[in-house]
């Protein structure tokens, strides 16, 4: 994705009358207006403007029509009272007509939330007018604002709208997390943003690789009131059961063999957010201790008697069915309740948000070359072929124009088609590694050519070969099943002449996956594979790793 182009804010006005619309059109000409008319140009320059009924939406049916057609609406200005005949109102016919008219805007708000949950809505009313009981839930919604006295003060209203839109664009422009535009993610974003403000514990569900940890750190923590405090993440799946308690709660010297005085992750997260990934893996003892910590807001280090106050927001994540674990008795019901399951949300699998694939590819390629060794290699390439300006990489497909700055990794139309059809069982993580492999291998090949004086053939477009893409996609990702009990999917198996070759393929895939999940920590890999002392077993794991032909340097790239 290249530089974003900022455009004037576009608002949709939903009002049963037209006077207010005329007023805004007259006073706020810096705004653009979503209308039911498809003619170009602003309404005030239109020869048909007098008496025109297409300048805004008068009811939900018309609002839906505009919102469905125009994805560039930045904000909705919504009246609350709609003096319309019954057949044009949302809501039950059992409700008195006067009440339906008086609060029709709230019905329309609900409908907008379902259709376009990401669009800020300004309700042109005050709390008093709609009643405190109905206003309270709206106050907790990040995307709904009551205009109150600002409703008819055009400058105040314009200022309010630009603040809301700027806030939304901050979310959109934040490169650290790619929301995308798929329906699933738009709905999720709305849910997440509204839940962040509550300060309550949050439970994030989703398949492995969907980005639960990134969401916790880059969105939930980063946009909460605790963002100035620490974010501490703990992957419980990577910790041996015996170490979980001391890792979370700390220890004092002598608590157990080799114990030293040190704070646990709870204390480290004081004032901030504690993220417990794969909480379904929490051993029974640690479940009890976690429950006490959440109940009391205090933790006691192992071997100590003095409880210490901790103020953390807990965000937990899992890919397993915790409810089922509770029913089976392997996860405490009281702890499950403390995780606030009523407010849980689920990150969709990548296959359920294919509409975001392009945007994700663009962001991931850009990020991959933004810093470090990869950035340096790209800089070397740009220098070798004479591309000045900023060092940056973009993602392109087919015959798209060369980038204005930096270089583009260009995938063929056929490759793009294959990527869109691919099931991505490893989700975001699989996509990330696929793109890293494809772009880095392409860059290294072309940099080599450039350094050998064959730079004349090269330029700002770096074609990614279709055969490389096929090869990478066919090398199936190893996806766990829903409960994580089977680490290897049958889709990972390719027919071989001999069974031992198949077994070796699976073993290689398993080692690659563990390497990636543990960030190349052989002790952690050993802890996942073998019983006994991880330090001792790490040597065995490293030996087997080498026997399989795997190389640390290659996997780290």
Residue count, binding to other proteins (CB under 8 A): 15
CB of residue 87 to other proteins, shortest distance in Å = 22
Contact pick of 81, 262, 358, 504 for other proteins (by CB under 8 A):
81
256 makes contact with other proteins (CB under 8 A): no
Q: d(Cα 229, Cα 269) in Å, to the nearest integer?
A: 8
Give the residues across from 34 on adjacent strands: 12
153 makes contact with other proteins (CB under 8 A): yes
54 makes contact with other proteins (CB under 8 A): no
- Helix (H) and strand (E) counts in the chain: 23, 17
Contact pick of 19, 306, 399, 553 for other proteins (by CB under 8 A):
19
Report the largest interatomic distance among the alpha carbons of the chain, rounded to a whole angstrom: 86
Q: How far is CA 269 from CA 244, 283, 309, in A?
A: 16, 21, 12
Residue closer to other proteins, measured from CB, 162 or 340: 162
CB of residue 26 to other proteins, shortest distance in Å = 5
Q: How far is CA 405 from CA 1, 363, 384, 408, 466, in A?
A: 12, 16, 15, 9, 24
With tokens 């090398």, the residue in question is 475
Among 20-28, 58-66, 206-214, 517-525, which window interacts with other proteins (CB under 8 A)? 20-28
C-beta separation of 525 from 557 below 8 A: no
Residue span 22-51 as binding mask against other proteins, x where in contact by CB under 8 A, dash where not: xx--xx------------------------
Residue closer to other proteins, measured from CB, 122 or 440: 122
Residue closer to other proteins, measured from CB, 81 or 197: 81
C-beta separation of 24 from 6 below 8 A: no
User: Quick one: which of 218, 171, 227, 177 has its CA closest to 199?
Assistant: 227
CB of residue 125 to other proteins, shortest distance in Å = 8
Give 4-9 contacts, CB < 8 A, sequence gap 24+.
4/173, 6/169, 7/32, 7/72, 8/32, 9/74, 9/75, 9/161, 9/162, 9/165
Q: d(Cα 189, Cα 322) in Å, to the nearest integer?
A: 23
Contact pick of 154, 380, 449, 468 for other proteins (by CB under 8 A):
154
Q: Which two tokens stand for residue 543?
A: 């030996």
Residue closer to other proteins, measured from CB, 132 or 497: 132
Subset of residues 109 to 138 that bind other proteins, contact rule: CB under 8 A: 128-129
151 makes contact with other proteins (CB under 8 A): yes
CB of residue 129 to other proteins, shortest distance in Å = 6
Which stretch of DSSP H or E encloses residue 230? none
Q: How far is CA 221 from CA 208, 314, 362, in A?
A: 20, 10, 24
Residue closer to other proteins, measured from CB, 25 or 265: 25
CB of residue 285 to other proteins, shortest distance in Å = 58
Among 21-29, 67-75, 235-243, 389-397, which window interacts with other proteins (CB under 8 A)? 21-29
Report helix, strand or coil for 10: strand
Contact pick of 65, 69, 136, 155 for other proteins (by CB under 8 A):
155
CB of residue 31 to other proteins, shortest distance in Å = 14
Q: At what angle do helices 241-249 and 284-296 cross, to 10 degrees?
A: 20
Contact pick of 95, 134, 152, 482 for other proteins (by CB under 8 A):
152
CB of residue 99 to other proteins, shortest distance in Å = 13
Residues that bind other proteins (CB under 8 A): 19-20, 22-23, 26-27, 81, 128-129, 149, 151-155
């Amino acid at each position: 994705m290249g530089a974003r182009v900022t455009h004037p804010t576009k608002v949709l006005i939903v009002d049963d009358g037209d006077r207010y619309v005329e007023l805004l059109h007259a006073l706020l000409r810096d705004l653009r207006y979503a209308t039911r008319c498809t003619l170009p140009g602003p309404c005030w320059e239109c020869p048909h403007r007098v008496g025109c009924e297409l300048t805004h939406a008068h009811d939900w049916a018309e609002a839906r029509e505009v919102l469905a057609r125009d994805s560039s609406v930045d904000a909705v200005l919504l009246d609350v009272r709609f003096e319309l005949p019954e057949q044009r109102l949302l809501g039950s016919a059992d409700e008195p007509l006067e009440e339906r008219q008086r609060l029709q805007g709230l019905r329309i708000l609900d409908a907008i939330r379902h259709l376009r949950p990401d669009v800020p809505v300004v309700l042109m009313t005050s709390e008093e007018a709609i009643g405190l009981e109905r206003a309270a839930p709206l106050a907790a919604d990040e995307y709904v604002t009551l205009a109150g006295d600002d409703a008819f003060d055009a400058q105040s209203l314009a200022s309010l709208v630009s603040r809301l839109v700027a806030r939304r664009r901050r979310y959109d422009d934040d490169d650290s997390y790619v929301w995308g535009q798929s329906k699933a993610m738009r709905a999720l974003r709305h849910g997440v943003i509204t839940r962040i403000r509550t300060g309550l514990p949050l439970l994030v569900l989703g398949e492995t690789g969907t980005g639960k940890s990134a969401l916790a750190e880059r969105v939930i923590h980063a946009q909460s009131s605790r963002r100035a405090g620490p974010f501490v993440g703990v992957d419980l799946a990577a910790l041996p059961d015996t170490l979980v308690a001391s890792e979370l709660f700390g220890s004092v010297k002598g608590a157990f063999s080799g114990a030293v005085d040190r704070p646990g992750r709870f204390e480290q997260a004081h004032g901030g957010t504690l993220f417990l990934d794969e909480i379904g893996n929490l051993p029974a003892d640690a479940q009890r201790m976690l429950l006490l910590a959440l109940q009391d807001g205090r933790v006691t280090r192992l071997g100590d008697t003095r409880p210490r106050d901790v103020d953390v927001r807990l965000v937990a994540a899992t890919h397993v069915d915790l409810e089922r674990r509770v029913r089976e008795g392997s996860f405490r019901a009281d702890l499950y309740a403390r995780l606030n399951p009523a407010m849980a949300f689920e990150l969709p699998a990548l296959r359920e948000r294919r509409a975001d694939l392009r945007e994700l590819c663009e962001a991931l390629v850009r990020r991959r070359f933004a810093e470090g060794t990869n950035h340096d290699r790209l800089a070397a390439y740009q220098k070798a072929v004479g591309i000045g300006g900023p060092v940056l990489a973009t993602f392109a497909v087919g015959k798209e124009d060369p980038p204005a700055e930096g270089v583009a990794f260009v995938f063929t139309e056929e490759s793009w088609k294959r990527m869109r059809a691919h099931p991505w069982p490893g989700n975001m993580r699989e996509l990330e590694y696929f793109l890293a492999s494809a772009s880095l291998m392409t860059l290294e090949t072309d940099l080599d050519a450039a350094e050998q004086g064959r730079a004349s053939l090269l330029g700002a477009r770096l074609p990614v070969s279709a055969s490389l893409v096929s090869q990478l996609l066919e090398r199936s990702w190893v996806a766990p099943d829903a409960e994580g009990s089977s680490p290897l999917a049958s889709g990972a198996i390719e027919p071989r002449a001999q069974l031992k070759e198949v077994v070796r393929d699976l073993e290689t895939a398993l080692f690659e996956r563990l390497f990636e999940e543990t960030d190349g920590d052989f002790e952690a890999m050993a802890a996942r594979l073998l019983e006994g002392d991880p330090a001792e077993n790490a040597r065995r794991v490293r030996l087997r790793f080498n026997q399989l032909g795997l190389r640390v340097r290659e996997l780290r790239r």
